Chain A
């Protein structure tokens, strides 16, 4: 009886697994390389995966704000998004409320919703959406972005512009940003040091000069926060992003201006810092140059327009006499 039962189990197991194995899909491959003019529809994303699209992407699903920034610059609209970033009037405004929403969390977007949106291209963020690649295979190609500096943001802008046939708009937007950056750089005295940080007064991270917002700020003012030393990844690898940092060193460097991103805190970080006996000793705190900034522009946006808005905001706060209004 026992052996008989065992055989039955194994048989059932094998049957189930056979169904599983046979059920592998004949997915409509989006990697065909048939027509002659496909060279302009090939891209290599941040995970070094090369994909060739079969036609110009018109329906794009955005899983990261950078995508919305880029599409807004190109004059396109995403078919679905997973955040409210686009509702900012600088991007899509109230139009964004009609975009379809991808459910799930930021780290686990709902793949079924993505399928329902019937996209031609899905754009996601490195280290968050890359393991969706196999799930998205039958649905749409995936473009993973990993902007480590503003040059990467420009690259992605131009690349998406190329793929959607909007290179002209992409180049214009890129030029706008670079001109603005150069203009600020030229006129900025560069004598004030700044620091961008987020978190709480006890648990906080700072953005080093090797991070995305840091790469912009360090061009236009003094930003003495080098990337972490040996043993840590280089800037060309993954985005170092923000790191926990020694408060003592911050005190020693004593930046002139503090930019703080309170991400949904009950009490704004600037208030927390003001009541701390250590932070209140900073030059920035004593000269009332601690500013709350919009994390959407400085941190989460990652695109050229977001960085442009952050730049306007930062320069106005750093040098209000020289830049009373944003440069065009």
Chain B
């Protein structure tokens, strides 16, 4: 927790950070609207947004690139918040939806719906994904009596994820040859070809869950003091933790329902935010992590779209490929000899 004078000093830094990331976000956003078929320049973009430009360019920008950008920012923010909530409430730097089996649980449900062509309304899919994610996480969380034990957390989550991935692969192996290719794309997490329909699907969840998540900052700060202290301060620890878990799962479920499991944004963004701002105050970290997550995912998606054009490689691959080692690098100093020193 910070003393008032520290808060003054930090406030300047915080403001700088927020302004900086917003600028960065806008820059990346604009940048992601430009390349593709057709390649646009900034004046072209400006004229399109003002109602001009060729019909094709307008179609591409307004119906393809803009919703994809919006989805990327929303999804990035939601994932980052989910990770931040989990890490702070479990007091565990390795807690993330992809490592806890939350993503895997949601993925299994969505995969089953997709592969077996179950007649489910589009609107209902995130709800079903939520159920899947909660089931996945509950297995891990309910067995966690010692919150700080990273090893058990990661191991249980990894085993559960392996199990759930096995289920998905079973589903996939029941298909024909070409089905498999399509389904594999889904399994790695992608933002490709999403339109406003998909943004509309995620938006209600974002509008409700993101503010709720930000409101959790105070209870999270209290939880970080330790369970006993928190109880002493009057916080119903178990209930709060459960609610935070549900909220975090909801954030991930909506993203998985639309984009598939995109990994490592949730784990990475809060850590990066903590590093840059040199604080653990959740009131600061949560919004900053959200912004950072949006930036990261948007940048990764831009890369995914253009790196092997005209072929598209899903963004989930890149976030894992780059995010995984980066996370390892970030955490290498924090993983000291003493287990408790996390």
Contact = CB atoms under 8 A, between A and B. Distances in A.
Interface of A: 105-108, 128, 198-205, 228, 231-232, 241-249, 251-252, 254, 261, 263-266, 276-278, 281, 295, 299-300
Interface stretch (B156-164, B185-193, B324-332): B185-193
Closest 8 CB pairs of A and B: A266-B117, A246-B310, A248-B37, A252-B37, A249-B37, A199-B182, A249-B310, A278-B63
B181 interface: yes
Contact of A251 (B56, B181, B309, B312): B56
9 contacts: A203-B186, A205-B178, A244-B311, A246-B311, A247-B64, A247-B192, A264-B179, A277-B196, A300-B177
Contacts of A232: 311
A134 to B, nearest CB: 21
A251 B59 contact: yes
Interface string B169-185: 00001101111111001
A202 to B, nearest CB: 5
A202 B192 contact: yes
Contacts of A205: 178, 181-182
A265 B178 CA distance: 12
A278 B64 contact: yes
Given A243-B311, A244-B185, A278-B64, A263 B59 contact: no
A205 B185 CA distance: 10
Contact of B178 (A228, A231, A242): A242
A264 B178 CA distance: 11
Interface string B43-64: 0000000000000100110011
A242 B311 CA distance: 11
A300 B177 CA distance: 9
B340 interface: no
Contact of B182 (A200, A246, A249): A200
A251 B64 CA distance: 11
Contacts of A247: 64, 192-193
Contacts of B196: 277
Nearest to A261: B178
A197 B64 CA distance: 19
Given A228-B311, A277-B63, A248 B178 contact: no
B298 to A, nearest CB: 17
B178 A202 contact: no
Nearest to A267: B117
Interface in B287-342: 305, 308-312
B36 interface: yes
B195 interface: yes
B241 interface: no
A205 B192 CA distance: 12
B211 interface: no
B117 A231 contact: no
